[in-house]
Amino acid sequence: MQELASLVDISQPAPKLPAGHPFANVQSDHYWSANTDVEDTGEAFRVNFTNGQVDFGNKINDITFVWCVRGGQGAAVQ
């Protein structure tokens, strides 16, 4: 979740990404993170690139995009 949320720039119009970002076809919508809510394992963190908000969404019922990131040393969220 930290990596995904670090892409947000709330000063920009939707999608809330920094000016000059290298990404293509980013939707102004929610994107899943790989982090499950520890209090409700049926939900996971997501980042809303319409407004920059980080919240939870239901893993089964919510329609949300995914954004693949490269793993590697230091990529784990604690």
pLDDT in tens, 1-56: 888 999 999 999 999 999 999 999 999 999 998 899 999 999 999 999 999 999 99
Residue 11: domain span: 2-66
**Distance of alpha carbon 1 from alpha carbon 5, whole angstroms:** 6
Q: Is the pTM of this model over 0.85?
A: no
**Distance of alpha carbon 56 from alpha carbon 14, whole angstroms:** 20
Sort strands 65-66 and 30-37 into parallel, antiparallel or unpaired: parallel
Whether residue 72 is contained in a domain is answered as no
Whether residue 44 is contained in a domain is answered as yes
Whether residue 24 is contained in a domain is answered as yes
- The number of domains in the chain is 1
Which residue is listed with tokens 């920094």?
A: 18
